[in-house]
Each structure stands twice: as structure tokens, then as C-alpha cells.
Structure 1
Amino acid sequence: MNHAYLILYVADQPRAAAFYRAALACDPRLDVPGMTEFMLPGGAVLGLMPEAGIRRLLGEALPDPAQAAGIPRAELYLPVADPAACHARALAAGARELSPPAVRGWGHVAGYLLDPDGHVLAFACPA
């Protein structure tokens, strides 16, 4: 197996790509209509797919993901060297803070945010 892909459904792909470009401080490895991809720490790939793209795959049998706009549907928990710096960078890029970086009961320093589509984003490191 090469890489694990984590794909978030987004309302506006260019907006989401710009946010993650700034929050992750890296350029996407792929940015074409229908998919933007970023390499993540540890070798996973973050994909950003427009809600319209997944809606075509789901068809009429399942609810439209756009109906959950703003409702947290996923968490992206990223191990990084400096969670506070990454947290601040994401805030500057337009994230909404849920909880500032702090020592958590499981032994990590982690801060929690919401990205522009309402997905939870956490930057963490061992305490």
C-alpha cells in the first residue's frame, strides 16, 4: 500500500485549497477541478473534493453532504513539531478556534479548530 487518503468534502474547492495551503504551509501536490491533494505528516494524503463530486457518486439514495454544511463531520489530527505555531497559522488562514493548544489527558499537546467547511482540525505533539 502506498499512502492512506483522507478525503474531505468541501463546499468550495478553491477556498478550501487556499485555507489548507496556508494552514499547512505547503503547496498541494495536485490541484485540478474535482480534487486537491496535500501530503500530510507520516505520508498520508489529504484530499479536498467538492460536495458536488461526491453527490454524483452517492446519487439520490443517500443524503446530500451539503445538507450537513457547518456540522463537524470529520477530524484531521496532525502530529507536528510545533502545535502552537501551526494552530496560529490556521487561525490566520481563517480557522475558528475550538480550544487552544493545551496538554490533553492522553499525553499530547493539542489545539482544536474548525476549517471553513466545519471539519475539526487538530495539531498535536507529545507533551
Structure 2
Amino acid sequence: MNLSMKYIILYVSDSQRSIHFYQHILGLPIRAEHGTYVEFDTGSTILALNTRESVKEMTPLEIPETPVSSQTFEIGFVTENVEAVIKKVREHGVTIIGEPKVKPWGQTVAYIADPDGHYIEICSPME
């Protein structure tokens, strides 16, 4: 069996607020829009958003009304200049969870949260 990661869908409370965050603050181009479902072009993996309400109507999944307070995953974005990204998102009032820090393996890593509290790692490429 050969599996490959194609997309990640985040369930959000307010699609317009999340679209603004990912498109205008992080600078991700929109790849496709279908009602409340939006895809962003992030390279080889698509990042998609859909409202919690819409997902509950279309799938058998149990989706909580609001984001859970405990996160169990993070989304990672790679950039050549972590500090510049953190400076830009800070200017937009984005929650900074962890300031840029060089890890023992040489990678610079910082953490932020999107409007629904999803954890996002902003990191330099692995060398």
C-alpha cells in the first residue's frame, strides 16, 4: 500500500475570519472555493477549511460546536526567515505561542495559533 498526504481540512468557526488569516496574514493563495469549503495552495499538500456547521451536515463525524481546549496536532510551514514571518503576524495581532528558537538540530522554530486556536509551527528548512 502506498499512501501520500494530499490535504488537511481544518474545521473553523468563522470561515471569513479564517480565510482572512490564511490568505491575507500568512499569504497563502486560494486554490479553490466551494461554498464554505476553501482550499489554499501550500505546495504538495493542500490546506483546506470548512465550517464546523457544514461538516456536521455533510459527514457522519461528531464535530464539537466550538474548538476544543486541548490541541493534539500542529500544522507546519517552512520558510527561510522565521523571524520575519513572526514579526509580520505579530503586527496583525496573531497569538504567538513560542518565539523563534534554534533547536539542537539547527532548525529555527516558532509557534503561533490561528483564529480557532489551531497550532501552527513556523520553521526553517531542515538542513
- What TM-score does the superposition give when structure 2 sets the normalisation length? 0.81
Aligned-CA RMSD value: 2.4
Query: Which residues of 2 match residues 48-67 of structure 1 at below 5 A?
Result: 48-56=49-57, 57-58=59-60, 62=62, 64-67=63-66
> Identity of paired residues, percent?
24
Unpaired segments ≥5 residues, structure 2? none
Greater helix fraction, Structure 1 or Structure 2: 1
Query: Which residues of 2 match residues 62-73 of structure 1 at below 5 A?
Result: 62=62, 64-69=63-68, 71-73=70-72
1:123 is displaced (CA, Å) by: 0.9
Q: State the aligned residue count.
A: 123
Aligned-partner residue type, residue 34 of structure 1: T
- What TM-score does the superposition give when structure 1 sets the normalisation length? 0.81
In the alignment, the residues of structure 2 paired with residue 92 and residue 72 of structure 1 have an alpha-carbon distance, to the nearest angstrom, of 25
Tell whether the 8 Å contact from 1:6 to 1:45 is kept in structure 2 after alignment: yes
Unpaired segments ≥5 residues, structure 1? none
1:32 is displaced (CA, Å) by: 3.4
In the alignment, the residues of structure 1 paired with residue 105 and residue 53 of structure 2 have an alpha-carbon distance, to the nearest angstrom, of 37
1:50 is displaced (CA, Å) by: 0.6
